């Protein structure tokens, strides 16, 4: 794994570029995540974290060399994606878990797909070997479809492991080998 920065921003769709997130993006990231926590089931958090908590989360991932990307429209942040540790034990250090969140006003415009594709490429470039998607809510067809379209395979479903908005929610697990995957030692 390397700490090298993501390649320079590049246009991936009319209207936005994917670039490495900065501390200056945390307020917009916090707002996008707050809406997702309050109104969605992708995250199993019940109360949105504060801006200070989100800044701390961002800093810890960035300092540890994990990729953290934003879709920048020039007038704001349309979405963000990051990879973080899949599990804390050392043997898992080559596997990452992804997260992708898109502002409601930007959904359906290719932002999530562009972010996830760039995150996959950057994670592989940094030497990670497996990407795990832990998708909240088996009814989240958009996220499951996006991950499938980008090569993730279904690994399994944990049924009724979370309760949010007055209902039980599943967690869907999907996996994508990165780079050489398990074909060689890291």
Read off the pLDDT of residues 86-101 as tens digits, 9 standing for 90 and up: 999 999 999 999 999 9
Structure tokens at 142: 């958009």
Q: How far apart are CA 42 and CA 172, in angstroms?
A: 10
Comparing C-alpha atoms, which of 79, 137, 135, 69 is closest to residue 108? 79
Rounded to 5 degrees, what angle do the CA atoms 44, 83, 162 make? 15
Read off the pLDDT of residues 55-79 as tens digits, 9 standing for 90 and up: 999 999 999 999 999 999 999 999 9
Comparing C-alpha atoms, which of 84, 94, 88 is closest to residue 180? 94
Yes or no: say if 84 and 61 are a contact pair by the CB < 8 Å rule: yes
Q: Pairing between strand 130-136 and 95-102?
A: parallel
Read off the pLDDT of residues 41-57 as tens digits, 9 standing for 90 and up: 999 999 999 999 999 99
Residue 51, Cα to own-chain centre: how many angstroms? Answer: 18
Residues 171/176/181/186 CA torsion (nearest 10 deg): -50
**10-177 placed in CATH 2.10.260.10:** no
**What's the pLDDT band for 132 if we cut at 50, 70, 90?**
very high
Beta-strand ranges (E) seen in 14-117 are 16-20, 68-72, 77-85, 95-102
Query: Has residue 13 got a pLDDT over 70?
Result: no
Q: How far apart are CA 149 and CA 71, in angstroms?
A: 19
For the chain, the domains span 10-177
Query: Has residue 1 got a pLDDT over 90?
Result: no
């Amino acid at each position: 794994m390397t700490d090298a920065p993501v390649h320079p921003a590049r246009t991936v769709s009319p209207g936005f570029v994917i670039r490495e997130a900065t501390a200056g993006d945390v307020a917009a990231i916090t707002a996008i995540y707050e809406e997702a926590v309050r109104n969605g089931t992708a995250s199993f958090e019940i109360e949105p974290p504060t801006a200070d908590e989100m800044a701390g989360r961002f800093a810890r991932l960035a300092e540890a060399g994990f990729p953290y990307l934003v879709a920048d429209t020039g007038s704001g942040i349309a979405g963000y994606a990051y990879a973080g540790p899949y599990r804390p034990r050392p043997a898992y250090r080559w596997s990452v878990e992804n997260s992708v969140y898109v502002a409601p006003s930007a959904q359906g415009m290719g932002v999530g797909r562009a972010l996830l594709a760039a995150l996959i490429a950057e994670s592989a470039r940094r030497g990670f070997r497996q990407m795990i998607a832990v998708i909240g809510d088996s009814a989240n067809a958009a996220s499951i479809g996006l991950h499938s379209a980008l090569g993730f395979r279904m690994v399994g479903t944990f049924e009724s492991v979370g309760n949010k908005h007055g209902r039980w929610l599943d967690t869907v697990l999907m996996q994508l080998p990165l780079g050489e995957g398990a074909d060689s030692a890291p």
